[in-house]
């Protein structure tokens, strides 16, 4: 504590933005203000933080935008009024009870967030699945990594990231597909940059329709046409077969499906694949030759693959490259999906999606349902046998009137959901909307019948899991302002108002103890953990069984035994057809959306920090100069982007780094009403991958024109 100023206290926690999961040292002064630094010696970040993490304390110290008191509107035409917690929760319980009685348990739903702590996820999931009797719980993680969840499960038998970040130090080839970690997972990318500095022979392959910051250290950038990822992965697979780079012993002993895969990828010539992808044969062969010669080959991906109408197939076709080369289960080898949110993984562990059960149990498996029902002491048959509504289905059901009530927790769907104007219509139709949040600026408040003020990061305790299965404990450092309370406490108090037993937890540690007990004996076993152990060890990677020592399990499948029924990894043969929206004469450009370096989600936190606006302060449309010239558009011209779903109007940013025919808009900006022309999701659509239900944010057909005031 030598570096601490007099009167300050230090608290070790974890950054609440992206899934990298950097350790932070929070220093609190005697007046209750905090400062944040990177935690020295933390296995993820070794003291470093990116621009967002470095400015975390500003978002906490500034409480001017916080929701402070519960509010209720006792009739759609009435204004909301401040009430006590008891009245707010009793009112909500009364409305939920009456809707469930009249329309059944599926008339209500919870829409939560990958920023929720594991304990919060656990109690929300327990409440709706085990007690209300509906599986209508989904989260914004559906928009982020649900394609990876299905991809892992189909290929490896379990939603399990098999590697650790440490493997990036051992790899000698890293294939980054559909991701810009230099901006979106910056501290992890610093690790790759450092590895490249140490070892110039480390080869980096990047596939992306945009030449992003990540490409600055790429040895080969495959600047593919949007939607052609599977064709590219197959072409690399074919080249590896032709080069004799298949690990035949591994394939024969530890996988199934190679013969069919081989037959399938040989059907397209390299030239044909290269033409469709818009890349050169030479670059595909270069990438394949790097992989052929690799001692350790890692694949790394995120939204470019996940957010697609064929997201699961994109995941599988990439994971196949690890499987056919036997590059898994040893240092420096394996697939590493990056998660966008800090605790999307924790949510997966407790089954916090409409098609999952705790500890990665399968909702469709009657034995799994019975196990969970018995554990929760609820009658057999209480957990509904069919999946609940996924994120997009939830708002469609609200719009059609099938769903009557929605409870929104820690997320801002009026900016972040695809085809967001339909989401506005859905909220207008809703009979009852509960908004549980920290900010008085989230757009959903306009439709809230009940507002529940929640405690923020650093004002509550619990755990999160990062993208490498690393669990860490986050302490409560500050008291929440006003009457705000932790999310888990809100849910438990509501459950008790509903008359449900099993929510009288003493504290967050108590919830965690129940959660880990339910994981015992599963592939996600973390029954050896508790808050006390996590406080002492700082971080642990699951599985972590009872009596286990050390810091958990850095690497899975080291014995080449996979979690499938045959214990062999599955090489899936997938179609390379892209089923996204088609471009047309009327809408000839492909719009892709994504993040910028210094903003997070819908900016309800990062938007409060002036420093973070210095990098990019307003929305924009990135367009290739040749496309712009044909349309009479210059840099900074105001342009209109339109399709049958909506309109956006922002300034053009001319850049040769984007593929011709493709335009890019950041996903962060937008407001309801007149200012909504910044909002990229006016243009995106509800088309989803049929298996993962993840929306196709990366491919919308649009027109672009110079804006002229008429
Ligand atoms: Fe936070 Fe992610 Fe930045 Fe690390 S890389 S400081 S976890 S936003």
pLDDT at 4 over 90: no
Rg (CA), the chain: 24
Q: What is the pLDDT of residues 54-73, one digit of tens each?
A: 999 999 999 999 999 999 99
pLDDT at position 608: 86
pLDDT tens per residue across span 474-521: 999 999 999 999 999 999 999 999 999 999 999 999 999 999 999 999
Convert the pLDDT of each residue in 507-558 to its tens digit.
999 999 999 999 999 999 999 999 999 999 999 999 999 999 999 999 999 9
Do 178 and 297 have their domain in common? yes
User: Rounded to the nearest whole angstrom, what is the distance from the C-alpha of residue 156 to the centroid of ligand 1?
Assistant: 28
* CATH code of residue 393: 3.40.50.740
pLDDT tens digits for 204-233?
999 999 999 999 999 999 999 999 999 999
Instruction: Tell me which of 494, 526, 558 is where a domain ends.
Output: 526
Gap from CA of 186 to ligand 1 centroid (Å)? 7
Quick one: which atom of ligand 1 is closest to the CA of 24?
A: 6
Task: Mark whether 126 and 274 lie in a shared domain.
Answer: no
CA–CA gap between residue 388 and residue 364 (Å, rounded): 11
Confidence of residue 5 (pLDDT cuts 50, 70, 90): confident
**638 and 682 share one domain:** yes
Helix, strand, or coil (residue 54): helix
Which among 419, 441, 381, 467 is positioned nearest to 604, based on CA atoms?
Answer: 441
The residue-averaged pLDDT of 88-92 equals 98
Task: Measure 13 CA to ligand 1 centroid, in angstroms.
Answer: 12
Q: Identify the pLDDT of residue 709.
A: 82
- Residue 465 within any structural domain of the chain: yes
Q: Which pLDDT belongs to residue 696?
A: 97
pLDDT digits (tens, 9 = 90+) for 366-384: 999 999 999 999 999 999 9
Is the model's pLDDT at 1 over the cut of 50?
Answer: no
- Position 370 in a domain: no
Structure tokens at 340: 């966008």
Residues 256 and 317 in one domain: yes
| Same domain, residue pair 332 and 347 | no
**pLDDT number for residue 557:** 97
Let me know how long the chain is.
Answer: 710
State whether 333 and 412 are in the same domain.
no
Which pLDDT tens digit goes with each residue over 244-277? Answer: 999 999 999 999 999 999 999 999 999 999 999 9
177 lies in the same domain as 312: yes
In a domain, residue 287? The reply is yes
| Same domain (yes/no): 284, 397 | no
Query: Can you tell me which atom of ligand 1 is nearest the CA of 44?
Result: 4
With a 6 Å cutoff on the Cβ, whether 58 touches ligand 1 is no
- Looking at residue 286, which CATH number applies to its domain? 3.40.228.10
Q: Classify 637 as helix, strand or coil.
A: coil
For 157-200, where are the alpha helices, taking DSSP H only?
167-170, 181-184, 186-198
Query: For 284-306, how does the pLDDT look when each residue is reduced to its tens digit (9 = 90+)?
Result: 999 999 999 999 999 999 999 99
Q: How far is the CA of 113 from the centre of ligand 1 (A)?
A: 17
The answer to the question of residue 576 being in a domain is no
Q: Which residues contact 98 (CB under 8 A, 6 or more apart)?
A: none
Q: Note whether residue 28 is domain-resident.
A: yes
Query: How confident is the model at residue 671, as a pLDDT?
Result: 74
- What are 10's strand-pairing partners? 27
Domain total in the chain? 4
pLDDT digits (tens, 9 = 90+) for 25-51: 999 999 999 999 999 999 999 999 999
Question: What share of the chain in percent tops pLDDT 70?
Answer: 99
pLDDT for res 674: 55
- Confidence band, pLDDT 50/70/90 cuts, at residue 340: confident
464 lines ligand 1 (CB under 6 A): no
Residue that is last in its domain, among 526, 547, 570: 526
292 and 351 both lie in a single domain: no
For 446, residues 6+ apart whose C-beta sits below 8 A from its C-beta are 427, 672
Q: How far is the CA of 20 from the centre of ligand 1 (A)?
A: 6
Question: What whole-number distance in Å separates Cα of residue 168 and Cα of residue 424?
Answer: 43
Q: pLDDT value at position 6?
A: 86
Which CATH number covers residue 50?
2.20.25.90
Instruction: Judge whether 560 lies within some domain.
Output: no
> Which of 61, 79, 97 is the C-terminal boundary of a domain?
61
- Verify whether ligand 1 is closer than 6 Å to residue 183 (CB atom): no
- The pLDDT confidence band at residue 318, using thresholds 50, 70 and 90, is very high
657 lies in which domain range?
Answer: 589-706
Handedness of CA 665, 671, 675, 677 (dihedral sign): positive
Which residue puts its alpha carbon closest to atom 3 of ligand 1? 50
The yes-or-no verdict on residue 10 having pLDDT over 80 is yes
Instruction: Compute the mean pLDDT over every residue in the chain, rounded to the nearest whole number.
Output: 96
Does one domain contain both 301 and 181? yes
Q: Is the CB of 50 under 6 A from ligand 1?
A: yes
Asked if residue 568 belongs to a domain, the reply is no
Look at residue 672 and tell me whether its pLDDT is greater than 60: no
Domain assignment of residue 439, yes or no: no
**162-199 tens-digit pLDDT:** 999 999 999 999 999 999 999 999 999 999 999 999 99
Ranking 19-28, 62-71, 339-348, 395-404 by mean pLDDT, the lowest is: 339-348
**Given the structure tokens 């890349």, which residue do they identify?**
279
**Same domain for 284 and 243?**
yes
678 Cβ neighbours under 8 A, 6+ residues apart: 618, 619, 648, 650, 669, 670, 671
Same structural domain, 206 and 309: yes
pLDDT cut 90: percent of the chain above it: 93
Dist CA 410 CA 114 (whole Å): 9
């Amino acid at each position: 504590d030598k570096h601490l100023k007099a009167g300050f206290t230090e608290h070790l926690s974890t950054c609440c933005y992206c899934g990298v999961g950097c350790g932070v040292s929070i220093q609190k002064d005697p007046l209750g203000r905090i400062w944040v630094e990177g935690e020295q010696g933390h296995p993820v970040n070794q003291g470093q933080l990116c621009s967002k993490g470095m400015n975390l304390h500003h978002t906490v110290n500034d409480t001017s935008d916080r929701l402070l008191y519960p509010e209720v509107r006792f009739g759609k035409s009435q204004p909301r009024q401040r009430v006590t917690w008891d009245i707010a929760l009793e009112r909500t319980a009364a409305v939920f009870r009456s809707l469930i009685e009249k329309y059944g348990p599926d008339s209500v739903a919870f829409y939560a967030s990958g920023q929720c702590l594991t304990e919060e996820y656990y109690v929300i999931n327990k409440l709706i699945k085990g007690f209300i009797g509906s599986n209508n719980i989904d989260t914004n993680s559906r928009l982020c990594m649900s394609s990876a969840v299905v991809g892992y499960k189909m290929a490896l038998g379990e939603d399990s990231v098999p590697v650790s970040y440490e493997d990036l130090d051992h790899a000698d080839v890293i294939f980054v597909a559909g991701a810009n970690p230099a901006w979106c997972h910056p501290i992890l990318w610093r690790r790759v940059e450092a590895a490249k500095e140490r070892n110039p022979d480390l080869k980096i392959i990047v596939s992306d329709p945009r030449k992003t910051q990540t490409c600055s250290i790429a040895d080969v950038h495959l600047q593919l046409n949007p939607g052609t990822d599977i064709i590219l992965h197959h072409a690399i697979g074919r080249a590896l077969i032709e080069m004799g780079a298949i690990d035949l012993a591994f394939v024969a002993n530890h996988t199934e499906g190679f013969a069919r895969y081989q037959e399938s990828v040989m059907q397209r010539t390299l030239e044909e694949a290269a033409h469709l992808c818009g890349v050169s044969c030479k670059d595909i062969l270069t990438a394949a030759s790097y992989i052929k010669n690799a001692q350790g080959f890692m694949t790394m991906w995120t939204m470019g693959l996940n957010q697609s109408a064929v997201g699961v197939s994109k995941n599988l076709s990439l994971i196949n490259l690890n499987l056919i080369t036997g590059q898994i289960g040893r240092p420096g080898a394996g697939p590493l999906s990056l998660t966008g949110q800090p605790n999307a993984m924790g949510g997966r562990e407790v089954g916090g999606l409409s098609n999952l059960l705790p500890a990665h149990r399968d909702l469709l498996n009657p034995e799994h349902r019975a196990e969970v029902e018995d554990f929760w002491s609820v009658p057999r048959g209480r957990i509904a046998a069919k999946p609940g509504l996924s994120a997009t289905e939830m708002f469609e059901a609200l719009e059609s009137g099938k769903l009557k009530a929605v409870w929104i927790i820690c997320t801002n769907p009026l900016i972040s959901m695809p085809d967001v104007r339909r989401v506005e219509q859905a909220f207008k139709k809703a009979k009852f909307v509960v908004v549980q949040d920290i900010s008085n600026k989230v757009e959903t408040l306009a439709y809230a019948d009940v507002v529940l003020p929640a405690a923020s990061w650093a004002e509550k305790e619990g755990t999160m899991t990062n993208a490498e299965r690393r669990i860490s404990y986050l302490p409560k450092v500050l008291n929440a302002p006003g009457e705000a309370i932790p999310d888990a406490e809100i849910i438990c108090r509501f459950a008790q108002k509903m008359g449900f037993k099993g929510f009288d937890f003493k504290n967050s540690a108590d919830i965690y103890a129940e959660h880990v007990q339910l994981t015992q004996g599963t592939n996600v076993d973390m029954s050896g953990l508790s808050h006390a152990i996590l406080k002492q060890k700082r971080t642990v990677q699951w599985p972590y069984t009872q009596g286990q020592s050390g810091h958990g399990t850095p690497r899975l499948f080291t014995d080449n035994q996979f979690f499938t029924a045959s214990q062999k990894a599955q090489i899936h043969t997938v179609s390379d057809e892209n089923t996204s929206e088609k471009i047309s004469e009327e809408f000839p450009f492909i719009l892709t959306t994504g993040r910028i370096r210094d903003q997070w989600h819908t900016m309800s936190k990062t938007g409060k920090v002036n420093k973070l606006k210095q990098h990019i302060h307003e929305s924009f449309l990135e367009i290739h100069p040749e496309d712009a010239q044909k349309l009479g558009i210059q840099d900074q011209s105001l342009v209109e982007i339109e399709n049958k779903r909506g309109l956006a109007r922002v300034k053009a940013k001319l850049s040769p780094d984007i593929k011709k025919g493709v335009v890019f808009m950041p996903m962060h900006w937008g407001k309801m009403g007149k200012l909504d022309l910044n909002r990229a999701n006016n243009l995106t659509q509800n088309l989803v991958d049929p298996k993962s239900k993840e929306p196709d944010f990366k491919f919308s057909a649009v027109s672009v024109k110079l804006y002229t005031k008429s």
